[in-house]
């Protein structure tokens, strides 16, 4: 929850700091834009925890608020064992999606241009409830009347507490392993996309140790 709070604050700073509200679904509201940003930032924080907890590797994330340009690499520094923090040797992008997504999907502009592509991509699925903001505010005085009504009405859904946000680190894939396709099961694209199935991602201990050696 401490990470959620940091990510939520960062997302609001991004959106109200001038982030474009034009998304892949068209014009977004501020709430939709915050949802999109917080999903990605939560994934980055989860990767940071994962690498530290399992392999003792500390990574630095780009946590500066800048809305005038896109930062292609999400890992900006790395520290292994007793070494000093340094820049990574390769570019690493952390990509996030909803919990049911079976594919990492990248747009052509994320791969075709030298200043946008990464050498490796880590994919995470974030189980962020769509009503996460209501769950945070459920005990706020502003919600008191409606919460009492929902709690007492047997037919209504209850607003649960937000106790944690599970994130599944699905695995990683390298740039040259991406597949250029026009469709994936259940979805047709308007042009080419670069994709990788979760089932084909690298996620063994040896895979992660090789990745750590590369960065």
Q: What is the pLDDT of residues 3-30, one digit of tens each?
A: 999 998 989 988 888 887 876 556 788 8
Cα dist from 191 to 95, 108, 187, whole Å: 20, 9, 12
Higher pLDDT among residues 24 and 86, named by residue: 86
- Going by pLDDT thresholds of 50, 70 and 90, the confidence category of residue 196 is very high
Residue 128: exposure state from Cβ atoms within 10 A (0-12, 13-18, ≥19): buried
Q: How many whole angstroms separate alpha carbon 68 and alpha carbon 74?
A: 16
Q: What is the pLDDT of residues 29-73, one digit of tens each?
A: 888 888 888 999 999 999 999 999 999 999 999 887 766 666 779
What is the dihedral angle through the alpha carbons of 49, 84, 201, 124, rounded to the nearest 10 degrees? 30
Predicted confidence (pLDDT) at residue 184 exceeds the cutoff of 70? yes
Task: Look at residues 80, 83, 78, 74 and name the one whose alpha carbon lies nearest to residue 59.
Answer: 78
Q: Give the helix/strand (H/E) hosting 207.
A: helix 205-214
Task: Look at residues 87, 142, 120 and name the one whose alpha carbon lies nearest to residue 196.
Answer: 120
pLDDT for 70: 67
Q: What is the pTM of this model?
A: 0.89
pLDDT for 28: 84
């Amino acid at each position: 929850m401490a990470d959620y709070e940091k990510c939520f604050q960062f997302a609001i700073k991004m959106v109200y700091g001038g982030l474009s509200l034009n998304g892949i679904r068209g014009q977004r509201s501020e709430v939709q834009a915050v949802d999109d940003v917080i999903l990605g930032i939560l994934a980055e924080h989860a990767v940071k925890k994962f690498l530290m907890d399992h392999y003792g590797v500390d990574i630095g994330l780009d946590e500066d608020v800048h809305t005038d340009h896109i930062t292609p690499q999400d890992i900006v520094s790395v520290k292994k064992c007793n070494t000093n923090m340094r820049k990574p040797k390769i570019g690493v992008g952390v990509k996030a999606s909803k919990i049911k997504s079976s594919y990492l999907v990248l747009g052509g502009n994320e791969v075709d241009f030298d200043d946008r592509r990464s050498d490796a991509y880590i994919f995470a699925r974030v189980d962020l409830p769509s009503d996460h903001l209501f769950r945070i505010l459920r005990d706020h005085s502003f919600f008191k009347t409606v919460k009492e009504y929902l709690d007492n009405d047997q037919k209504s859904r209850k607003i649960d507490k937000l106790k944690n946000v599970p994130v599944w680190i699905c695995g990683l894939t390298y740039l040259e392993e991406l597949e250029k396709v026009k469709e994936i099961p259940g979805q047709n694209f308007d042009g080419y996309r670069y994709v990788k199935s979760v089932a084909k991602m690298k996620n063994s201990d040896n895979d992660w140790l090789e990745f750590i050696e590369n960065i």
